[in-house]
């Protein structure tokens, strides 16, 4: 598996905990933000919630002596990690999935989540799967086709969810759009389109999610309210509002006019069943649901 950040958002988390992964090497820089030097050097920067979940580090020995491996700290219990995911609402839980061992641990983490909370939830979203880009090859020492391994892992986790309960959904988060992201939703039950409800992104999610689930989150549900309307009609996506970022406007913070507008669109959307199709070409124009779609 390539060295890419894999994120599972188990609760309504919006803030990401970001830290530097030591295996890419340390960079000394006079900048206040040392992350800038890493980006300038095109080094990978991965999010870690549990710093113990990393590869063993090498410690330099005395002059003329080979470096020795330093064993990582004990891993946290999977069940404890699953409980933390649901209980702690102020950060995402991220795992680096750059080796078979960490892939195995992620499988175990999913099993622990299902065992503890599977009967209380409707589904799971694996957030920001798009960080494993199409054609990613990984970096030393774990090179390989990271995108293919990611697709296989998404498929495997979906099967675990199905085996636990046919009523649970498992969604990827591919952010499918004009910049070509890998469609891991092909192996999931659908896609949380992590594009902020941008209208120009919806058409790219249709084929990978054909007759499946496609939805998003609008971080600016007041400023860009028309994006919600264009998501519902013609694409049939759920009404998306959010708080904690952007407009920071949840239901409890809406005034009467905003709440009425949101509920009216919700009732319109809930009156029909989602059935994703594909774009049609008519007279040189792209059409979906009877409406022209600019591309």
Q: Is the pLDDT of residue 101 over 80?
A: no
Q: Is the pLDDT of residue 208 over 70?
A: yes
Higher pLDDT, 14 or 130: 130
Identify the pLDDT of residue 275. 79
What does the H/E/C string look like for 194-232? Answer: CCCCCHHHHHHHCCCCCCCEEEECCCCCCCCHHHHHHHH
- Ramachandran region of residue 289, left (φ > 0), alpha (ψ -120 to 50) or beta? left
Identify the pLDDT of residue 207. 86
Q: Is the pLDDT of residue 97 over 80?
A: no
Burial of 252 (0-12, 13-18, 19+ CB in 10 A): exposed
Tell me the CA distances in angstroms from 119 to 122, 123, 164, 167, 229, one per residue in order.
8, 10, 9, 10, 33
Query: Do the strands 213-216 and 190-193 form a parallel or antiparallel pair, or are they unpaired?
Result: parallel
Residue 289 pairs in a beta bridge with none
Interval 41-63 mean pLDDT: 48
Taking only the tens place, the pLDDT of each residue in 126-143 is: 888 888 888 877 666 667
3-state helix, strand, coil in the chain (%, to 5): 35, 15, 50
Q: Is the pLDDT of residue 12 over 50?
A: no
Q: Is the pLDDT of residue 71 over 70?
A: no
Interval 5-32 mean pLDDT: 36
> Domain coordinates of the chain in residue numbers?
1-26+35-53+71-194, 211-295
Burial of 67 (0-12, 13-18, 19+ CB in 10 A): exposed
Mean pLDDT check: name the lowest of 1-5, 145-149, 179-183: 1-5
Higher pLDDT, 55 or 197: 197
Helix, strand, or coil (residue 151) = helix
Helix, strand, or coil (residue 87) = helix
pTM: 0.65
As a whole number, the mean pLDDT across the chain is: 75
Which single residue is written with the structure tokens 């946290």?
76
Q: Is the pLDDT of residue 83 over 90?
A: no
Higher pLDDT, 223 or 12: 223
pLDDT band at 186 (very low <50, low <70, confident <90, very high): very high
């Amino acid at each position: 598996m390539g060295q890419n950040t894999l994120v599972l958002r188990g609760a309504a988390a919006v803030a990401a905990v970001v830290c530097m992964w030591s295996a890419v090497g340390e960079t000394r820089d006079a900048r206040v933000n040392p992350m800038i030097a890493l980006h300038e050097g095109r080094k990978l920067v991965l999010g870690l919630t549990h710093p113990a979940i990393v590869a063993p580090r090498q410690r330099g020995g005395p002059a003329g002596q080979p470096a020795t491996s330093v064993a990582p700290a004990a891993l946290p219990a999977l069940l404890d990690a699953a409980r933390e995911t649901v209980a702690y609402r102020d950060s995402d839980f991220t795992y680096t999935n750059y080796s078979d061992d960490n892939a195995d641990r992620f499988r175990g983490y999913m099993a622990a989540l299902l065992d503890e909370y599977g009967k209380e939830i409707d589904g799971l979203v694996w957030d920001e799967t798009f960080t494993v880009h199409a054609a990613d090859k990984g970096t030393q020492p774990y090179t390989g086709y990271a995108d293919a391994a990611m697709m296989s892992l998404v498929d495997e986790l979906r099967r675990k969810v199905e085996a636990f309960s046919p009523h649970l959904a498992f969604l990827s988060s591919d952010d499918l759009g004009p910049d070509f992201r890998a469609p891991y939703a092909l192996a999931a039950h659908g896609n949380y389109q992590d594009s902020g409800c941008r209208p120009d992104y919806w058409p790219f999610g249709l084929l990978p999610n054909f007759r499946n689930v496609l939805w998003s989150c609008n971080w600016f549900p007041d400023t860009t309210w028309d994006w919600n309307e264009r998501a519902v009609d013609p694409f049939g996506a759920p009404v998306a509002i959010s708080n904690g970022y952007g407009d920071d406007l949840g239901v409890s913070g809406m005034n009467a006019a905003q709440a009425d507008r949101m509920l009216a669109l919700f009732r319109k959307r809930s009156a029909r069943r989602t059935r994703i199709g594909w774009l049609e070409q008519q007279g040189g124009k792209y059409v979906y649901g009877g409406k022209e779609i600019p591309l």
